[in-house]
Chains A and B, each alone.
Chain A
């Protein structure tokens, strides 16, 4: 089966510019996650979608970050305006189902490395 696809792989922007990342999950996976991984740290959840609805966005900095998952398949994550501290790898992951009772982990994409200068 094809994996989780993300693009672009790398992005360098100046602070205060905007940027968007794209994710295509594994076919049939209802749940999609965006994680931010700052160098030297573990991934931190930004937002979790179940189909096209948001399950958890409690750690998403909503003043500058936004995400959508139209039609419950692909997703985009946007940062506007970017700050230096947004430099990180942005990982997308997907799984078959979400919520209580699920008994497996999920599959990550290769990520997008963002550098804000």
Chain B
């Protein structure tokens, strides 16, 4: 059974700090890994990763995948209060297009 683990489950930081969120997975026939940000109800798409070692960046957010060690990290630099959210990691396999989600990391950024 496919499995996604995220750590930490909860994190409190102050504005300006840099944070690293972790996602490890076990999946048969890995295809892709997704990161989502969930502020209220609807998760919003951040990144899709399919290849090892290629960093994806969007502003202060960046992510990278290690397919050998089966994990991904999401970095947020110079955090802002607007970054407070749950960050979800999801993994898909080659058998279908649904994704298995991890429990999420709840990030709280204090002013």
Contacts and interface: CB of A to CB of B under 8 A. Distances in A.
Given A40-B103, A42-B4, A42-B103, A91 B41 contact: yes
Interface residues of A, number: 31
Interface residues of B, number: 25
B102 A42 contact: yes
Interface string A86-117: 00010100010111101111111111010000
B16 interface: no
B103 A95 contact: no
Contacts, number: 66
Interface string A3-21: 0100000000000000000
A45 B42 CA distance: 15
Given A42-B88, A42-B102, A44-B101, A100 B96 contact: yes
A102 B97 CA distance: 7
A41 B103 contact: yes
Nearest to B95: A100
B96 to A, nearest CB: 6
Contacts of A102: 97
Contacts of B104: 41-42
Nearest to B89: A42
A31 B97 contact: yes
B48 interface: yes
Interface string B47-87: 01010000000000000000000000000000000000000
10 contacts: A43-B101, A48-B97, A55-B98, A98-B96, A100-B94, A103-B50, A105-B34, A107-B45, A108-B36, A109-B42
Closest 9 CB pairs of A and B: A42-B101, A111-B41, A98-B97, A108-B42, A105-B34, A110-B42, A102-B97, A43-B101, A42-B103
